[in-house]
Amino acid sequence: MTDVLRITLAVAGKDIRAELHSRTALISALVFAALVLVLFNFARDPTAVSAAILGPSVLWVTFVLAALLAMNRAFTIERENSALDGVLLAPIPRESLFLGKLLANLAFVGVVELLTLPLFMLFFNVDLVPRLPGILLVTALATTGFVAVGTIFGAMTAKTRFAELMLPVLLLPFMVPPLIGAVQVTSRLLADRPLSEMWGWLRLLALYDVVFVVLCTLAFSAVVDE
Amino acid sequence: MPSHDQGSLLEVRGLQRSFGRVRILRGLDLTLRPGESLAIIGPNGAGKTTLLRLIAGLLRPDAGQICIQGQPLRAGAHRVRSAVGFVSHQTLLYDDLTLVENLAFTARLYGLRRPVETAVAALDAAGLADRQSERPKGLSRGLQQRAAVARALLHGPPLILMDEPFNALDAAAAQRLRDDLRSRLSRNASLLLVTHQLADAWELASRVAVLIQGRWVADEPRSGSLDSFLLRYREWAHD
């Protein structure tokens, strides 16, 4: 167990350090998120649809698309100089490699989401501050699930010629369940509905997380080992 | 299942591997004892790199068995991997990390104590002390190769696999690598080295093998001169 934790932290630390040096994924995902919000802001008619109704969908579509950019990066750096071979040569449990990549991806996507929230408040004139604990909870629950699936698909597509194209094609269908749950909870949060109305969706998101984190961890070895 | 030779560090039996319909390795046997160094030479497509990648555990054989220190190499047996150090065609280094960060990460993967200090010492020994804060992509191919070798040997593996390790190295760096490998061989490490430039490895090798179309054509102790061996090699390669 300590071995798994040690390697998980080493892999995550390596990815975060590499990203801090290059800032490729973070900056491009943040700029992309801002552009999507700007586009939606100009594309909507505020007299026809209120921000409270459209906002949750826009927020989560922005999160999902920005997350795709951030996650593409995770295995692109492993492809350069066949660096992943260097990791696979080491006497490490493959599960810890997956958990390390997952942790790093969660950190990247989490930072992008946190920095996107103020932009969303600005463009859509929605006050999230009083609902922040709820927003952070649903964001954490929904993000964990789709990032787990994105991490394993990232490893699969990294070996293909069109990795950047293949990842969204494979991942987007798996993002639908957490996306629906997250939009439903966020809509209720913005409408100041009671927690009892969100409980079912939150449980669904938590279940999705448990199922896919466990499945992806167990399946990862088959994906990276030939 | 073949019986394991107790004295061998590496034992390969009946190794076969294809890519699609192309048969690359056709039932190879190989034994390597502690302190032995085997230089493998062969034309392009002979299966040399595939053989090394199979022994390193990066590819799975279609048939046959690989044992390292008496332990079968198979999926999930990750402990066996700590006995192997592999220098590949690629550097296996992250372009976005500095050299010291790259080697410290490797040290962490192998559970070495004081990863940063270990990485600094290895870079110093490779003549890269003044380059440790630079990233691989900013270095010449020769300096990258030195870092790649330092990375592969960081954990002191008893079984060293090298695919064209002298590529891009200048004369001084190549000599330093030969001296380092000799020192490791004297401490009972074993070396399996694939090369097109046999002259670079001739003095280092205790055995020389020729691999052509996935089969051993020769595997013999190094004796005589390099020139006479190369004359025979040309005949085998043209047959």
CA angle (B223, B226, B230) in 5-degree steps: 110
Confidence of residue A46 (pLDDT cuts 50, 70, 90): confident
pLDDT score of A199 more than 50: yes
Q: Which of A37-51, A175-189, B202-216 has the lowest mean pLDDT?
A: A37-51
Question: pLDDT by residue (tens digit) across A95-141?
Answer: 999 999 999 999 999 999 999 999 999 988 888 999 999 999 999 99
Q: How many angstroms separate the CA atoms of B73 and B50, rounded? A: 15
B58/A contact by beta carbon, under 8 A: yes
Instruction: Name which of A73, A75, A79, A81 to mutate to probe chain B: the one with the most chain B Cβ atoms within 10 A of its Cβ.
Output: A81
All residues of chain B having their beta carbon less than 8 Å from the beta carbon of residue A10 are: 105, 108-109
Interface ipTM: 0.92
The minimal CB distance from A89 to the residues B56, B95, B108 is found for B56
Q: How many angstroms separate the CA atoms of B236 and B239, rounded? A: 5
Q: Higher confidence at residue A27 or residue A48?
A: A27
CA angle (B30, B85, B80) in 5-degree steps: 70
CA distance A216 to chain B (A): 16
Phi, psi of A2 (to 5 degrees): -65, -35
The minimal CB distance from B58 to the residues A80, A88, A221 is found for A88
Phi, psi of A38 (to 5 degrees): -60, -45
| A81/B95 Cβ within 8 A | yes
The pLDDT of residue B1 = 37
The minimal CB distance from B110 to the residues A82, A91, A93 is found for A91
B222/A contact by beta carbon, under 8 A: no
Q: Which two tokens stand for residue A116?
A: 């996107």
Q: Contact at 8 Å (CB) between B213 and B46?
A: yes
The pLDDT of residue B5 = 59
- Say how many CB pairs under 8 Å bridge A and B: 85
Q: Contact at 8 Å (CB) between A105 and A70?
A: yes
| A80/B81 Cβ within 8 A | no
The minimal CB distance from B108 to the residues A10, A80, A88 is found for A10
Residue keyed to tokens 């100041």: A192
CA distance A14 to chain B (A): 7
The pLDDT of residue B78 = 72
All residues of chain B having their beta carbon less than 8 Å from the beta carbon of residue A15 are: none
SS (H, E, C) chain A: CHHHHHHHHHHHHHHHHHHHHHCHHHHHHHHHHHHHHHHHHHHCCCCCCCHHHHHHHHHHHHHHHHHHHHHHHHHHHHHHHHHHHHHHHCCCCHHHHHHHHHHHHHHHHHHHHHHHHHHHHHHHCCCCHHHHHHHHHHHHHHHHHHHHHHHHHHHHHCCCCCHHHHHHHHHHHHHHHHHHHHHHHHHHHHCCCCHHHCHHHHHHHHHHHHHHHHHHHHHHHHHHCC
The minimal CB distance from B57 to the residues A7, A18, A89 is found for A89
SS (H, E, C) B170-236: CHHHHHHHHHHHHHHHHCCCEEEEECCCHHHHCCCCCEEEEEECCEEEEEEECCCCHHHHHHHHHHH
Mean pLDDT over residues A19-44, rounded?
90
Q: Contact at 8 Å (CB) between A139 and A54?
A: no
Confidence of residue A3 (pLDDT cuts 50, 70, 90): confident
| B105/A14 Cβ within 8 A | yes
Q: Contact at 8 Å (CB) between A6 and B108?
A: yes
The pLDDT of residue A1 = 61
Confidence of residue A160 (pLDDT cuts 50, 70, 90): confident
Mean pLDDT over residues A198-212, rounded?
96
All residues of chain A having their beta carbon less than 8 Å from the beta carbon of residue B59 are: 226
B77/A contact by beta carbon, under 8 A: no
The pLDDT of residue B2 = 40
Q: Which two tokens stand for residue B134?
A: 């630079």
Q: Could you tell me the pTM of the whole model? A: 0.91
Q: How many angstroms separate the CA atoms of B39 and B43, rounded? A: 14
Q: Contact at 8 Å (CB) between A131 and A176?
A: no
Instruction: Name which of B73, B109, B113 to mutate to probe chain A: the one with the most chain A Cβ atoms within 10 A of its Cβ.
Output: B109
pLDDT along chain B (239 residues), means of 10: 65 96 95 96 94 95 94 77 94 97 97 96 95 95 96 97 94 94 96 92 94 94 92 86
Q: Which two tokens stand for residue A189?
A: 């949060």
The pLDDT of residue B3 = 44
